Amino acid sequence: MLIQEVPVPQLDAGMVMVRNHFSLISAGTEGSTVKAARKSLLGKAKERPQQVKQVLEVLKTQGPIQTYRAVMKKLDAYSPLGYSSAGVVVEVADDVTGFKVGDKVACAGAGYANHAEVITVPQNLCVKLAADADLSLACYNTLGAIALQGVRQADMRLGETCAVIGLGLIGHLVCLLLKSSGVNVIGIDVSQEAVNLASQHCVDLGLTRSAAGIENTILQFTSGIGVDCVIIAAATSSLDPVNFAGAICRRKGKVVVLGAVPTGFDRDPFYYKKELELKMSCSYGPGRYDLNYEEKGIDYPVDYVRWTEKRNMEAFQHLIHTRAIDLSYLTTHRFHFDDACKAYDLVVNHTEPYKGIVLEYDVDRAIEKDASICVRESNANSVDTPAVAFIGAGSYAQGNLLPNLPDDIRRVGVMTNSGTTAKRVSEKFGFEFCTSSADDIFQNNDINTVFIATRHDSHARYVKEAIKVHKHVYVEKPLCLSLEQLLEIKDLLDTAGDVSLMVGFNRRFSPLSTWVKKQLPQGPKSMIYRVNAGAIPKAHWIQDASIGGGRIIGEACHFIDLMAWMCDSCPVKVTASALDDKQNLNDTVNIMIDFADGSKGVLAYYANGSKALSKEYFEVFSGGATAVIDDYRKALFYGKRESHMKLSVQNKGQKEMMKQYFDALKNKMQLITMHQLFTVTLATFGAIKSLQNDGMPVRISSLQTL
């Protein structure tokens, strides 16, 4: 654990930049994270068996090298801690109207409300406070909203009785909220110390779980009825909390699971005979994990969703400000931000009792909002040497692109939105600086080649910016999300001179693809590409048309490109039909492609299959011969003589692609023709249009002649 100097986070649309004054350590969530991080590899493996299973699956298909990269990418990454803070607004995005510079605010969200001097937070994860708000209490924001959502799920009435199992920080907050609303509160914990503290401040009856006759004591307290509801705020792998909740609940009562506990409860004698209702409480409330709400800032109408996660935060802050609840006793420790590591040592080692641990920031210290940080000295070579920068450096880039960069290039800059990933990637892969501002990349005259590996919706924007400043561009698929963007890119390239464009269509560079193409005779080809794509939830960003473009634009382009390369031709007509999945995802679809040389291709892209089946299977028929590529592990050829090629591990061509790309740069060549790049992209647009027109064929020329 260490405190890092990283670039100031990027202020994107819909976001607010905040200078933190205080942030709260969640001893439960963050404590478990830190404990796991400090364990050996074996200890980490024991703690996360599901992830170990995933590693073994990757090992089977991709081999030890790629698996090692994937694992180490996770283990070596900087993981910012914290998700609850309060401070003052220092800047707002142009489209944000509810905040202004100087406003006091409370913030929430892992990855946003970090323990950091400066953060950027989406507007729906940020609430405005009164001018006289106490920021040292307001920083309890996230945990307060979580507790409040648990209370809302309990739906208690005045005079009813609620038992709270687990009197940690969130459990105490739950008790405070219940008490302020006129509910009788019973607090239960394994720790006598936690029970004593709760008994002084927020419960009517405090009991240790091991107390003799505890069930009878609770029955007497409730006049023989039992509690109306139990809120489980504990974190344990034991089934005791959920089963004990069933024992003390009255008939027709409720059990609300707020903490991290298993729910494999005993059906008899309590849950079945009492007809108990078991409910889950989801984090801060409605809107949580909804991309439209959290990232796009689209609110739910208050008439239909009274309490969203932001409105929960606002209600919690109102209770603090009006002193309807008093949190002051909960803050047992304050640490200066520079001493944050000591705070986590306290949490992990339990050197003394603690409850609320708050980090305090030096708000008088001047902060330079410089987006760029130098990591190492420049290794400038000749002007003809590729000088590379990365915009976006996530999982794919770290696993497949960055490790395959040649040694004889200049590694200049890395840009990511948060700056945290940029710092780690620049250190690990030998770049000169990291930044959170794209301007530091585009305005740097030393950089002549830009890699773009961001979310799909930003590809076109960054491609156009790079071309305008005469830099070569490598962009991960897709090239863009709309015909308008594609035409703009084409127009810029037409006037850009010797600027090259490359899209990361790696499958054509696989050794198996190359081998198959050499075996096949010349002439038109018939091709079938079956993709067992697997389901992706509708809420995932790639399914969002405005962000990911959907799976046809976002991924199908890969397979259309391989067919175009295999027949050395370009798509001219597309016909598509999709399985009606009631969600209109269009991710179980047949796409038929006609190519200019007479070749025909069928892309069978299915999201409704079994994961046990290999993902990709490609068959090519030509001149009496047939070739098969099976998941990029083996290839078969059937002709006058049969032959095959097998690989020890899956190889989809990324390494070979990177080598050929840099060779092409040095030789001032275009690796994939612009016409093929554009028509493959147009084919995905054509498939979407065909689906919209009930499967009618769409000619590429009818979209736009390129």
- 645-690 per-position pLDDT tens digit: 999 989 999 999 999 999 999 999 999 999 999 999 999 999 999 9
Q: Does residue 318 carry a pLDDT above 50?
A: yes
Biggest alpha carbon–alpha carbon distance for the chain? 90
pLDDT digits 0-9 by tens, 600-640 = 999 999 999 998 999 999 999 999 999 999 999 999 999 98
Q: Residue 605: helix, strand or coil by DSSP?
A: strand
pLDDT digits 0-9 by tens, 19-29 = 999 999 998 88
Determine what percent of the chain falls in helix, strand and coil, rounding each to the nearest 5.
35, 25, 40
Q: Residue 165: helix, strand or coil by DSSP?
A: strand
384-503 is classed in which CATH architecture?
A: 3-Layer(aba) Sandwich (3.40)
- Which pLDDT belongs to residue 441? 96
Q: Name the residue ranges covered by the structural domains of the chain.
A: 15-26+82-139+291-360, 146-280, 384-503, 506-703
Output the six-digit token pair for 329: 């006793």
Superfamily name and number for 15-26+82-139+291-360 = Medium-chain alcohol dehydrogenases, catalytic domain (3.90.180.10)
- Which pLDDT belongs to residue 382? 57
Distance of CA 550 to the CA centre of its chain: 17
Output the six-digit token pair for 505: 């269509």
Q: What is the average per-residue pLDDT within 402-412?
A: 95
Q: What is the average per-residue pLDDT within 535-550?
A: 94
Do 506-703 and 384-503 have the same topology in CATH? no
The reported pTM is 0.90
pLDDT digits 0-9 by tens, 468-497 = 999 999 999 999 999 999 999 999 999 988
Q: What is the average per-residue pLDDT within 190-209?
A: 96
Per-position DSSP letters for 135-154, written without gaps between them: HHHHTTHHHHHHHHHHHHHH
Q: Residue 275: helix, strand or coil by DSSP?
A: coil
Q: Is residue 31 very low, low, confident or very high in pLDDT (cuts 50, 70, 90)?
A: confident
User: Long-range contacts made by residues 32-37, C-beta under 8 angstroms, separation at least 24?
Assistant: 32/235, 33/79, 33/81, 34/1, 34/81, 34/344, 34/347, 34/348, 35/348, 37/1, 37/79
Q: What is the average per-residue pLDDT within 427-440?
A: 95
Q: Is residue 562 very low, low, confident or very high in pLDDT (cuts 50, 70, 90)?
A: very high
Quickly tell me which residue has 């729906």 as its tokens. 124
- Domain covering 146-280, topology: Rossmann fold (3.40.50)
Q: Is residue 706 very low, low, confident or very high in pLDDT (cuts 50, 70, 90)?
A: very low
Distance from the first to the final alpha carbon of the chain: 54
Q: What mean pLDDT, rounded, does the chain reach?
A: 93
Specify whether domain 506-703 bears CATH 1.10.1530.10. no
Burial of 596 (0-12, 13-18, 19+ CB in 10 A): middle
Q: Does residue 381 carry a pLDDT above 70?
A: no
Would you mind telling me the total number of residues written for the chain in this entry? Answer: 706
Q: What is the average per-residue pLDDT within 334-348?
A: 93
Q: Does residue 36 carry a pLDDT above 90?
A: no
Cα separation values, 118 from 21, 107, 129, 614, Å: 9, 12, 18, 45
- Which pLDDT belongs to residue 77? 78
Q: What is the average per-residue pLDDT within 259-271?
A: 92
Cα separation values, 272 from 165, 290, 330, 623, 640, Å: 21, 34, 38, 69, 70
Inter-residue contact 554 to 481 (CB < 8 Å) = no
